[in-house]
Amino acid sequence: MDDDALLTEQMAYYRAGAAEYDRPYAEYEHLQRLLAVVDELPIAGDVLELACGTGQWTTLLAARARSVTAVDAAAEVLALARARTASPTVQFLQADLFEWQPSRRYDTVFFAFWLSHVPPTRLPDFWKTVAAALAPGGKAIFIDDGPAAAAYEEVLTNQPTPTALRRLDDGSRYRIVKVFHDARTLTDHLTALGWSARIRSMAGNFIGVAEPPTDAGR
């Protein structure tokens, strides 16, 4: 399966499973602890949230930001995010993040549990998009699964792109991109791209704050 087909199946999974999306946040304490970490992060000004899902993080960002533009490709999860988020400073936008380009710059670009769904071959372009979205002095802030999370996934072996199999309540099965980034390796990757990154581990997850190359977007 090539990346385009895998990403199409990944999108189908999130659309079909929108009603089940929030379940892990209620079941797993480590996710509740991660949500609380937002108050410790340098989130400020105008915020762009990539892959906002059902808005679990959006309301927390809105409490810290001047404005939030929250983007996701799945209309089904966006509908839930809109219902959850009452803030007038939040704007929701439906767009495919592998094709969409921001029309303005932001002080903060935030994404939680999205980086692991980006195929490795597309990471350089993804980071270019993030850099182009940041205003001078802006920061990218990201949270995701580390290698320990692989123990809780049905990982498919011998795949050209790191892949996991997800199942929904109705028994349907979907393949998704799932890359378990190691904090050190990810830091080295960003450094090679000219970023300055600080990534720390937290209970099997990682939290990163990164600043783009000084000439990004010029």
For residue 121, the model assigns a pLDDT of: 95
pTM tops 0.85: yes
Domain membership flag for residue 218: no
Domain membership flag for residue 217: no
The letter for the amino acid at 153 is E
Torsion of CA 69, 74, 79, 85, to 10 degrees: -30
Domain membership flag for residue 112: yes
For residue 28, the model assigns a pLDDT of: 85
Question: What CATH number has the domain bearing residue 123?
Answer: 3.40.50.150
Residues 55, 80: contact at Cβ < 8 Å?
yes
For residue 86, the model assigns a pLDDT of: 86
Residues with Cβ < 8 Å from 22, sequence gap 6 or more? 54, 56, 80
The 3-state DSSP class for residue 159 equals: coil
Domain membership flag for residue 122: yes
Token pair of 65 as six digits: 């930001």
pLDDT 10s digit of each residue in the chain, 218 long? 799 999 999 999 999 999 999 999 988 888 988 999 999 999 999 999 999 999 999 999 999 999 999 999 999 999 999 999 989 999 999 999 999 999 999 999 999 999 999 999 999 999 999 999 999 999 999 999 999 999 999 999 999 999 999 999 999 999 999 999 999 999 999 999 999 999 999 989 999 999 999 876 54
For residue 29, the model assigns a pLDDT of: 87
For residue 67, the model assigns a pLDDT of: 98
Domain membership flag for residue 174: yes
For residue 216, the model assigns a pLDDT of: 62
Domain of 162?
Answer: 3-211
Domain membership flag for residue 38: yes
Nearest Cα residue to 146 out of 200, 82, 212: 200
User: How many structural domains is the chain composed of?
Assistant: 1
For residue 218, the model assigns a pLDDT of: 44
The 3-state DSSP class for residue 210 equals: strand
